[in-house]
Structure 1
Amino acid sequence: MAQPPVLNLEGVALQQGGRWLFGGPDHDALDLHIQPRDRLALIGRNGAGKTTLFRLIDDKIEADKGERKVKPGLRIVVLEQDPDFTGHTTLMDFALAGDHAPAEHEVEAIASQLGIDMSTPSKGASGGERRRAAIARALAQDPDLLLMDEPTNHLDLAAIAWLESWLDRYKGAFVVISHDRTFLKRLTRATIWLDRGTLRRKEIGFGGYDAWEEAVYAEEARAAEKLDAKLKLEAHWLERGVTARRKRNQGRLEKLWQMRSARAAMITPTGSAKLGLASEEDFKSKSVIVAEGVWKSYPANDVPTPVRPELVEGPAPSPSTSSGRTDGGVKGRTIIRDFTLRIQRGDRIGVVGSNGAGKTTLLKLLTGELQPDSGKVEISKKLTGVMIDQQRSLMAGDKTVRQVLAEGGDWIDVRGVRKHVQGYLKDFLFDPRVVDTRVGIMSGGERSRLLLAREFARKSNLLVLDEPTNDLDLETLDLLQEVIADYDGTVLIVSHDRDFLDKTVTVTLGLDGSGLVDIVAGGYEDWEAKRRERNQVKAKKSPLPLAGGVMVGSEVEAPAPSPPPASGKVGKKLSYKDQRDYELLPKRIEELEAAIAKGETLLSDPVLYTADPQKFASISQGIENARAEKEAAEERWLELAELVEG
């Protein structure tokens, strides 16, 4: 029997800045119903009103029309994209100032799993430290409804995996805004889409969103053509470009796979950077960055250890174990050891690893900003680089879009080609009318997109992107993938966005915190596959686990963190049926997860909805049934686990 919603927005309309953001004369009023166990992806272009919708749900603003109904006692907690740390001396001070102030020991319990020291002064904390503190504060408040705005921003892969595991066990409802497609595909079961003032809902996880979006736009285009509404079609040029862009990207992915195959032939089976080549001289002539036998160390006090080193590929060495060989006379932690790589013109290099593992150091070595302790890095004198950092620090709020792009003029030089600034804005999914808008009133995502537009216009043959996907909406991510694919220079990308790396890079450099760098032809999934294969081999060699679990990469994969046992429970012997369920349910849960993943892959085919709507509906229903069974199986297993473990 379906449970009643915990929150309803009915007939909501809201004006903002003199225009109707929701509802009003041009759009239907907004309706939203959230069930007790909903896992909702909130999708919408930057500036569509996603964060404003969160504020309506959280009762921080009042709608001009409509009604908000909430289940009595409902605890709503918001994980903000950019929380304000002003007035909080330490991260713990910030965490204890939540609307539903949690106990300090509850914050510490979560913080310890995330690997964050809550006594860190908030003023000097990094983006990753602040994000972890915000997560600890939000989760420790024990929400019934959790609203998350870009929760994976500034998180490394280990922290993202921990958060996914926590949310998978979470008993309440959540709504999430995220650019991280992998995160959304793994966790969401329904999608709400905020589009031009209208909110649509579909009972499919994010895996089926692309096909749904395309079907909606195709239907709108057909309706407009029947009415001969050419002006309406012109007004929706962005939407009409979605299908064309997706089809072009299919061709680009084919090309990317070919490039990866060619690169794989150059890397030896051991994964070392000594390349086996069909034509050594030809390869050398195309090389733009050559690193040979590079070592880099820092004094132990100067470099943070990787966050939660037990969750990355091998433990981070302590100063006592890592200072035996630095080849540069530097006592302390070795960040990069014996690294060799030739980067060719046109290579797309992805750099992944936990925070503190050495990604930034490696990037600085490859671009000449840092010198190695030993070994050498040779950089072509013809390289002209553009660096797009994650701070977006150069976007002055008092300037207009025209001033940022064209120094106040009407024309912009785009890598040697003269373009009108308003036409160039359309290339980056802006309405040309924003040309005289001040940067300060734009959303974070719009500012990030504007920065990309400006930097990609510069003439260069080396592009360095440091966490480029933060604050971008999904359509801008598609555009960024397209622009990178068309870029005729070399690209270095540091990112924790797994889907983005899988669709853009030809070679992945994986740092494990020990100083060793894996070199893998392909994207994030290829690197993960190599890690799994290596861990399986190691697991066979050492069957004895360490007390309290084992480290990923040291012998076998670390288990996902499990919830603490309920207090007061005492373990007891199970009945035959209970024991059988306890043993067999984990396998059944895995089977259901595989079936859900397979179904969502089928739904992601943009042709399926229009070619066979009945099959699309059947697969969607099958996914929902599998999710319901998986949820019931998980709850049943957890109950049995509590009985067994006490």
Structure 2
Amino acid sequence: MISLDNLTVSYGGWTLFDNISFLINPKDRIGLVGKNGAGKTTLLKLIVGEQQPTSGAVSKNGECTVGYLPQQMKVADTTTLVEETASAFKEVLALEAEIAALTREIAERTDYESPAYEALLHRLNDAQDHYHILGGETRDADIEKTLLGLGFKRSDFGRATSEFSGGWRMRIELAKLLLRRPSIFLLDEPTNHLDIESIQWLEEYLKSYNGAVLVISHDRAFLDNVTTRTVELSLGKIYDYKVPYSKYVVLRAERRAQQLAAYENQQRMIEKTEEFIEKFRYKPTKSNQVQSRIKQLERIERIEVDEEDAATLNIKFPPAPRSGQIVAEVKEAGMSFGAKHVFSGADFTIERGQKIALVGRNGEGKTTFARMLIGQLAPTEGSIRLGANVRVGYYAQNQDDLMEGEFTVYDTLDRVAVGDIRTRLRDILGAFLFRGEEVDKKVKVLSGGERSRLAMARLMLEPYNLLVLDEPTNHMDMRSKDILKRALQKYDGTVVVVSHDREFLDGIVDKVYEFRDGGVKEYLGGIYYFLEKRKLDSLRDVERKEAPAPAAAPKTEAPKLTYEQKKEQEKLLRKLRRAVESIETELAETERRIADYDARFAAATAYDEADYKAYDDLKAHYDHLMHEWEKASYELEITENG
């Protein structure tokens, strides 16, 4: 469908792509991955035709249409939401006008036997067929379904597009793109401005889409759920893996190990060859061999290995100063801005050491609550009171914009650092992937991801015991998200995080508060437990709307589950039971292997370092399994009793 043939892109003496080629087939689901700066967005622009390669070509077959969603875009401000979305159907609207004109002309003519009349009938038939193929009859229903799926409400349909924020405007462009139904979607970070429900809706849409999808995303769960093929850009070359992202990570590690071994072998060979040349350079009897070795070195294709960031392993937040057991007390808190009611009825306590996620659709109050928690906003209902000795560190969605553009990366940290920590600023910046001359860059020239990393590095300079993080991973690459996730897992303070990134939240949070329909609901468990329960709750909500209980039913009688609800609940219970049984089986096997080592060590006469390392790894794995078993058992118990 689309062929990229020997593409090279060079800037001066620097080559971004070096003779790369690959084919995009109909119905392909491709995740495009690589470090920031590897050229992912450039590759999309080459396919669209917004940029031209230095050499090589991009060719499409005649019927191929491309729908491109860039990271940044301009949206028209002159129409309503529905009118702007309907502009996706320009071709359909033109066909409607043509069909109406042809129908009028046919009705007015009387030369039924003439070739011209027959030609009109053929044109009308072709136009009606094309109209049907483009979904003309279901246009209004498709617009409604797409807008609702992306999180808009019916009450938004008549609002002017100028009233929507940047994130919602991006959704308008995404809606138009989906409704055009191109042969291939090129999506550059489509989940950045979506909430969890909208991301899941988009996943389902793309999985069942009849065309091809090429997507750049730093959302692992999204890539795993949508893609079946991963194309990596690295050092100007591409590596094509016919697997989704998680499997690609494993295969890439294997490829990198092979690459390193080949690199080391080549370096040894080069070193020996250079030693030979140096040793016999001035011996006439060896001149032929020396010249031969020199030519051999000139011909050799040097193996390059993509740099790994070893510094990412050591970053951590400073120890949290001790606070009171109650970090925040939220009593029937709510917020309204004038006539606009955001939420009410938030009633819970945040205790020391808890790690909590705030989730929900955009505009339901997550960021508002975060700002209320840190004291930027006062509740219009109820109260929010922080506990004793609570020191709050806040990361806002726009925190990267609040930094002074004329300061350098180093100055940004140096101006807020106090005491001995100032001697470690370069180490901290290095851990967030600012190295060498990069620390002297001005903030105004940094990319979105670099600004996010710098804002997070700045947050780590002072000892806080409550971190309130609002969408901390937007614009972060995979590596930076991993740094932050590991640091938060090790952090001994309290964390409240607003995020739509399921994979990032998994393993960090142990409680979820959902902001929905003007209220706040608590879920005791991790993010995937919340999503499972939410799916079941959504099904019950739908069933209640579609099949209300009979009026005569006694009030004391608990509502009975429908057949579909029972099926869904039984399916979930089976899944949870299998998970518990699987972990128990692995625990038993791990216990057996630990006992084998214990017996071997009791009879050993010499110390074997490899055996002790394997033993320690096994015990660490056992601890991890116990944690997973407790979590799975808890989820099963809650679901069985719920």
Shorter-normalised TM range:
0.5 to 0.7
Structure that is richer in helix per residue:
2
**Of 336, 351, 355, which residue of structure 1 is paired with 2:344?**
336
How many residues align? The count is 476
Quick one: percent identity of the two aligned structures?
Answer: 32
Deviation at 1:40, TM superposition (A): 0.4
1:110 aligns with 2:110: no
Specify the alignment match of 1:367 in structure 2. 374
Bigger drift between 441-450 and 68-77 goes to: 441-450
Rounded Cα–Cα distance in structure 2 between residues aligned with 1:183 and 1:458: 34
Deviation at 1:61, TM superposition (A): 0.4
1:381 to 1:474, Cα distance in 2 relative to 1, 3 A: same
With normalisation by structure 2, the TM-score equals 0.65
Specify the alignment match of 2:70 in structure 1. 80
Alignment-mate amino acid for residue 14 of structure 1:
V
Specify the alignment match of 2:514 in structure 1. 510
Matched residue SS, 1:81: coil
**Of 29, 48, 51, which residue of structure 2 is paired with 1:61?**
51
Matched residue SS, 2:221: helix
Specify the alignment match of 1:439 in structure 2. 443
Q: Is the 8 A contact 2:323 2:389 kept in 1?
A: no
With normalisation by structure 1, the TM-score equals 0.65
Rounded Cα–Cα distance in structure 1 between residues aligned with 2:191 and 2:230: 18
1:200 to 1:100, Cα distance in 2 relative to 1, 3 A: farther
Pair member with larger Rg = 2
Q: Is the 8 A contact 2:207 2:226 kept in 1?
A: yes
Rounded Cα–Cα distance in structure 1 between residues aligned with 2:483 and 2:496: 18
Alignment-mate amino acid for residue 394 of structure 2:
M
1:491 aligns with 2:498: no
Greater relative contact order (Cα < 8 A, sep 6+): 1
Matched residue SS, 1:238: coil
Rounded Cα–Cα distance in structure 1 between residues aligned with 2:433 and 2:144: 43
1:354 aligns with 2:349: no
1:102 to 1:212, Cα distance in 2 relative to 1, 3 A: farther
Rounded Cα–Cα distance in structure 2 between residues aligned with 1:15 and 1:490: 48
1:539 to 1:488, Cα distance in 2 relative to 1, 3 A: same
Matched residue SS, 2:334: strand
Q: Is the 8 A contact 1:287 1:342 kept in 2?
A: yes
Rounded Cα–Cα distance in structure 2 between residues aligned with 1:17 and 1:95: 42
1:165 aligns with 2:173: no
Q: Is the 8 A contact 1:9 1:32 kept in 2?
A: yes
Bigger drift between 174-183 and 206-215 goes to: 206-215
Alignment-mate amino acid for residue 238 of structure 1:
E
Matched residue SS, 1:72: coil
Per-residue CA deviation, residues 97-131 of structure 1 (Å, 9 max, x unaligned), is 77987758565653244343355444442233112
Bigger drift between 501-510 and 86-95 goes to: 86-95
1:149 aligns with 2:191: no
Specify the alignment match of 1:406 in structure 2. 414
Specify the alignment match of 1:523 in structure 2. 526
Matched residue SS, 2:411: helix
Specify the alignment match of 1:272 in structure 2. none
1:171 to 1:509, Cα distance in 2 relative to 1, 3 A: same
Bigger drift between 172-181 and 525-534 goes to: 525-534
Specify the alignment match of 1:385 in structure 2. 392
Q: Is the 8 A contact 1:102 1:140 kept in 2?
A: no
Rounded Cα–Cα distance in structure 1 between residues aligned with 2:144 and 2:477: 33
After superposition, residues 272-291 of structure 1 pair within 5 angstroms as 285-291=324-330
Deviation at 1:436, TM superposition (A): 2.2
1:173 to 1:543, Cα distance in 2 relative to 1, 3 A: closer
Q: Is the 8 A contact 1:352 1:508 kept in 2?
A: yes
Deviation at 1:290, TM superposition (A): 2.3
Q: Is the 8 A contact 1:118 1:133 kept in 2?
A: no
After superposition, residues 208-287 of structure 1 pair within 5 angstroms as 208-228=247-267, 238-239=308-309, 285-287=324-326
Specify the alignment match of 1:38 in structure 2. 28
Rounded Cα–Cα distance in structure 2 between residues aligned with 1:233 and 1:241: 24
Alignment-mate amino acid for residue 533 of structure 2:
K
Q: Which runs of 5+ in 2 are unaligned?
A: 94-138, 272-301, 550-558, 565-570, 583-642
Rounded Cα–Cα distance in structure 2 between residues aligned with 1:202 and 1:502: 26
1:301 aligns with 2:330: no
Q: Is the 8 A contact 2:188 2:217 kept in 1?
A: yes
Alignment-mate amino acid for residue 133 of structure 1:
I
1:542 to 1:49, Cα distance in 2 relative to 1, 3 A: closer
1:20 to 1:122, Cα distance in 2 relative to 1, 3 A: farther
Q: Is the 8 A contact 1:45 1:473 kept in 2?
A: yes
Deviation at 1:183, TM superposition (A): 1.2
Rounded Cα–Cα distance in structure 2 between residues aligned with 1:241 and 1:211: 21
